[in-house]
Amino acid sequence: MDDFTIARVIHVVSVLLWIGGVAFVTLVVMPSVRTGFAAHERLSVFHRIESRFAPQARLWVLLAGASGFWMAWRGQMWSRFADSHFWWMHAMVALWLVFAAMLFVVEPLFLHRRMLESLDPAQDFARMERMHRVLLAASLVALIGAVGGSHGLF
């Protein structure tokens, strides 16, 4: 097995666990917290649950980014970024950048403190739930584009 195949396996597994985790949090955890707890408790309950998933998400995002970069470099695919037919590669990189910024900069430096000091935890939880839905939808578009595009659909 060559290094490109290993990178592809790492990439697919990382994306599976990363976006699968986002889907689980968005479609299962957040609705469960919303229906199972009073509005003023939701943010702190979610924070307790999310704190166990965040380190895993950071690992998967790092591995997805490193393996994706390796495949682009090793496969000499940089020219694809200049071709609009490969829009899905831009979508993957853009999505990765958003998640990397959230997981490595925004959450640890700003968001966790804001969640602990929230003046309106009910509103903050609702805002966070909407943002997760948007990120999941963008993730699905990028994923559909990547799988379809890499197999000649686009």
Residues of the chain with pLDDT under 70: none
Q: Is 61 exposed, middle or buried (0-12, 13-18, 19+ CB in 10 A)?
A: buried
* 97-133 CB burial, b ≥16 within 10 A, e <16: eebbebbeeebeeeeeeebeebeebeebbbebbeebe
For the chain, report the end-to-end CA distance as a whole number of angstroms. 28
Q: What is the pTM of this model?
A: 0.91
Separation of alpha carbons 153 and 142, rounded Å: 14
Q: Are 88 and 148 a contacting pair, CB within 8 Å?
A: yes
Contacts of 42 (CB under 8 A, 6+ apart): 33, 34, 121, 122, 125
Separation of alpha carbons 71 and 8, rounded Å: 7
The pair of three-digit structure tokens given for residue 14, joined into one six-digit string = 């990382």
Task: Please report the pLDDT score of residue 6 as a whole number.
Answer: 96
Separation of alpha carbons 125 and 80, rounded Å: 39
Task: Please report the pLDDT score of residue 55 as a whole number.
Answer: 94
Task: Please report the pLDDT score of residue 74 as a whole number.
Answer: 94
